[in-house]
Amino acid sequence: MTPLSQRDERWKDIKLGFGNTTIGGYGCVITCISMIAGLTPDDVNERLKNANGYDTKSVNKNLIIWEKINEVIPNLKFIKRVRAYNNEDVRENLPCLVEVDGSRIGAETHWVLYLGNQQMADPWYGNVKSTNYYAPKGYAVIKKVEENMTDKNDWIVAYLTEWGVDANNEPLAREKLSQIKRNADKYIELEKQISNLNKELEGARAESVTWETRYEALVKSGAKIEEEVAEKNRKIADLETANFKMSQTLQKYKDKVILTQEEYERLLDKDNIYKYEWFTRFLSLFKKGR
C-alpha cells in the first residue's frame, strides 16, 4: 500500500465535496479511503460528488456519507463507524481508518490509516509513522472485497491486455480502469456541453429568422413609403406645371389691362358708379327720342 498525502500538489487545491474547503485542508478521510482502494483522492472525491456522497446539510458540506462508499467503489464495503476507540476491534479490521486528536496539526480531529505493528499512514504528511503520534478517538471499518480481476468480463481483460496491462496486476489494472472512468466522465460532460451549445445555436437561429422577417417587413414598408413619396412628387410636379400655365395666362391678361390701379379704384367709387348709371340712362332715353 502506497502512502498518499492529501496535500499533494496534484489535488490539494481541489474543492472537497460541495463546499469551499479543499482536499489539502480537509481531505484526510478520502485520502485514507484512496489508499485502501488503490485510487487517488481526487478520483474518490469526484465519485462521491457524482453519487451525492457528501452531507450537504453539514457546515462545510464536505462530510462523507459512509454508506455511499459501497456505491462509488465496488471493491470496498463500509461496515461500521464507531465513535469510541476499541483497539482489539481495530486490530481485527486492519487496515482501518482511525479518527484521532488533530491538535498536533492544528485541527480538532484528523483521520489516519492504521496498518498494524503500531504503524499508520498519515495523509497529512503522506508518510508512515508510529500510531503513538496521535491519540485515537474513534474508527471506521471499511473492508476490501477480494476479487480476481480475471473473473471479470472477457472484454475488460482483452481491453487491459490491448493496453499492455496485466489483468492479474490488480493495482495497475484498477488504475487503468479508473482512468477510463475519468475519461468517460469527461466525455459525458463534453456531450452535455455540446448539447447545451446546440440548444443555444437553435435559439440563435430562431432569433435570426425573426430578425430576417422583421427586416423583410421593413424593406416592404420602405418600398411602400418610396412609392408614396414618388406619388407626392408627381402631384407637386403637376401643380407646379399648372401654376406655371396659370402664370402665363395671367401675364397675357395683364398685358391687356389699360386701367391703372388708381383708375380702377376710382371706378369703384360710389359717386362715380352713380354718375355712370345716370349717364347710361340718359343715353338710353336719348336713343329712344331719336
What is the full DSSP assignment across 95-158? SEEEEEE-GGGT-SEEEEEEEETTEEEETTTTEEEEGGGS-EEEEEEEEE----GGGS-HHHHH
Element spanning 81, H or E: strand 76-82
Please report, in tens digits, the pLDDT of each residue of the chain (290 residues total). Answer: 899 999 999 999 999 999 999 999 999 999 999 999 999 999 999 999 999 999 999 999 999 999 999 999 989 999 999 999 999 999 999 999 999 999 999 999 999 999 999 999 999 999 999 999 999 999 999 998 865 544 556 667 776 777 777 777 777 777 777 787 788 787 888 888 888 888 887 887 888 778 888 878 887 887 788 888 788 888 888 888 877 887 777 666 665 555 566 665 665 665 666 666 666 666 666 655 55
**Can you tell me the distance from the alpha carbon of 98 to that of 33, in angstroms, rounded to the nearest whole number?**
11
CATH topology of domain 1-146: Cathepsin B; Chain A (3.90.70)
pTM: 0.53
Peptide bond preceding 123: is omega within 30 degrees of 0, i.e. cis?
no
For residue 210 the three cell numbers come to 425573426
Domain boundaries, the chain: 1-146, 148-254, 258-290
Q: What is the DSSP letter of 58?
A: S
